[in-house]
Structure 1
Amino acid sequence: MVSATSNGSSRAASFRARLLSTILLWGFVAFVFASGKLWLMGVMVALFTLIGSLEFLALTREAPGRECRYWGLIVCVGFLLYVLFQVLGSRGAFVSDDFLPEVAGVLLVTVGSFCLRLRFPIEGDASVKAVSLALLGFVYVPVLFGGFIIRLALYPPEVSSGFWLILLVVVVAKFTDMGAYLVGTLMGKHKAIPHISPAKSWEGYIGSLFFAVGGAFAVHALSGEGLSWLAWPHVLGLGLVVALAAMAGDLAESILKRSLQVKDSGQILPGIGGILDLIDSLCFALPAAFFYVYLQSL
């Protein structure tokens, strides 16, 4: 009896913590979007990216080559500073299909990591893992999340349109996750990928697509002139592409956490986990959205 009461109290406390974190977090995000301030968006993205990168560093602390991942973090900070200066100084320069900042970052992390491993003896594949993890740490959060969310914020040229586009991606990604949970709980019978995410079902994934498309059309309708340049067939296409990418992003973090045998990426958000737990689906959804919008405009 005591055990049941204790478990009930623990679940209630966890729910309260999750609810409070959710309210504060989305209140902050809503404030940034409502402000329409590009610099505020840049600061928020830089903050999330830096915390996410630190969480990745903590997750891989037992892996060889920590010095390489520290070097990757230094490059991450440089990349974020460059992006912020470009955003605040010359908006158009960062929007094109010129991915020089990302390419430069990848080169710096790769070459720098190999140089750092020169002073270590060869022990199996330790050096290969060290360089690979440093490169993954830079690409996973700074490039896929930080770089692409800023590109979306600046595409097309009107800032308000970019903000609406980001909101569409965020809503679709979160509706996909919510839809998969609700439909999977109510109707899920066939496990999708049990060795990666035991709770996910094919019914949940299929049902989540309807939630995702509904969320995309809702944001498009609410945006008024903000997304009027995006035709309705492309709203449908974008919703489906972002939903599928969000699913892949969620599973990618599950692979990462299961491989490293951790439950959450961090504890900065009580009841939720870490920043990586929050943005995992967006790390794949944001690039997918950018390339969809970019290609449909050609």
Structure 2
Amino acid sequence: MKSRLIVAILGIPVLIYILLSGGLLLLLFANVIIGTALYEFYDMMERSGKRPLKKLGMILGLSIPNFTYIYMKGHHFGELLPFVISLGVMLLIISRVLESRSEEASRDIGGTLLGVMYISFLFSHIIAMSFLQQGNLWILTAQIMVWVCDSFAYFVGLSTGRKFFRRGLSDISPKKSIEGTLGGIFFTVLTLGIIRYFFYLKESPLSLLGVLAMGIFVSVMAQIGDLGESLFKRDFKIKDSGNILGGHGGILDRFDSMIFVVPTMFYLLKILFV
């Protein structure tokens, strides 16, 4: 408990500063999160007996946020991203062909690509979002909504779980309740409304209906992101993705919801405002 508190006290202000700063600092942050989370994902695969192509997967995964940044800055070199991804996929297959090892090739190559798409491709949307109007404020808002959703889903579930709905939310995570899920959605929508009408997004054109829709979408995707990582951990028979954050587990444990929320928020903003 003490280590969790220390990490939160030291980490939250630093994280807020990075999200609001954007630019190269945000790019560095994205690289650290993606690189560490990918390493944890492949490590979980290896501990479960699988053989991901870790080095190629890491190189391909780390290329995505950097080429995204270059592209968003308007440099033509950034348009090479589709080529890099295509080359990476071919190299993954070529490496196994050269090994002349066909056993579990589809599983291991597929798992390697899953890590790249799930972690790197989805989370790299944080770079693209930073280039939208008020993009850094929306990134901070996304993170606040995730914190609120996670906290209130837990506390509402702890206090009222299984009292109204006897069945749980999902067998993937038996402790989660439907009441907790609904509580997370309600307080996430409420938080977005407060930010929109009383704090730093007062100039945003987001309507009341938009607040409701975005709050629901983000909360649902945050909770699915959490369940998604639990799905993989159950498959790999691993409790935590790592221990780099002490009592908070690994980087993937802390950012599983944001991995789903960032692209969700990005495309909602594109639909609503662009």
Say whether residues 1:150 and 2:127 are aligned partners.
yes
**CA positional deviation for 1:230:** 2.4
Structure-2 separation of matches of 1:32 and 1:114: 37
2:226 to 231, 237, 250: 250
- Contact kept? 1:56, 1:137, Cα under 8 Å: yes
Query: Measured at CA, do residues 37 and 193 of structure 1 come closer, stay the same or move farther in structure 2, by a change above 3 Å?
Result: closer
18-27 vs 56-65, which moves further: 56-65
Partner of 1:71: 56
Partner of 2:101: 121
**CA positional deviation for 1:93:** 10
5+ residue gaps, structure 1: 1-14
| Count of aligned pairs | 268
Structure-2 separation of matches of 1:243 and 1:194: 16
**CA positional deviation for 1:175:** 1.3
Structure-2 separation of matches of 1:191 and 1:91: 53
**Partner SS, residue 268 of structure 1:** coil
- Contact kept? 1:267, 1:274, Cα under 8 Å: yes
**Partner SS, residue 11 of structure 2:** helix
Partner of 1:45: 30
Partner of 1:90: 74
Structure-2 separation of matches of 1:49 and 1:138: 9
2:206 to 230, 233, 239: 230
5+ residue gaps, structure 2: none
Partner of 1:5: none
Structural mapping, 1:1-298, within 5 Å: 15-34=1-20, 36-62=21-47, 63-66=49-52, 68-86=53-71, 89-90=73-74, 101=81, 103-118=82-97, 119-123=99-103, 126-145=104-123, 147-156=124-133, 161-189=134-162, 190-220=166-196, 221-224=198-201, 228-297=204-273
Query: Measured at CA, do residues 129 and 174 of structure 1 come closer, stay the same or move farther in structure 2, by a change above 3 Å?
Result: same
Structure-1 separation of matches of 2:83 and 2:239: 33
**CA positional deviation for 1:233:** 1.9
**Partner SS, residue 271 of structure 1:** helix
The residue type equivalent to 1:116 in the other structure is S
The Cα offsets for residues 140-192 of structure 1, whole Å up to 9 and x where unpaired, read as 111111x1111111113xxxx10111112111122111111111111100343
The residue type equivalent to 1:122 in the other structure is S
- Give the fraction of aligned pairs with identical amino acids, expressed as a percent: 27
The Cα offsets for residues 1-55 of structure 1, whole Å up to 9 and x where unpaired, read as xxxxxxxxxxxxxx11000011111021122245x34222222122111111111
Q: What TM-score do you get using the length of structure 1 for normalisation?
A: 0.82
**CA positional deviation for 1:91:** 8.4
Query: Measured at CA, do residues 107 and 92 of structure 1 come closer, stay the same or move farther in structure 2, by a change above 3 Å?
Result: closer
**CA positional deviation for 1:104:** 4.0
Once superposed, what is the RMSD of the aligned Cα atoms?
A: 2.3
Query: Measured at CA, do residues 46 and 223 of structure 1 come closer, stay the same or move farther in structure 2, by a change above 3 Å?
Result: same
**Partner SS, residue 121 of structure 1:** coil
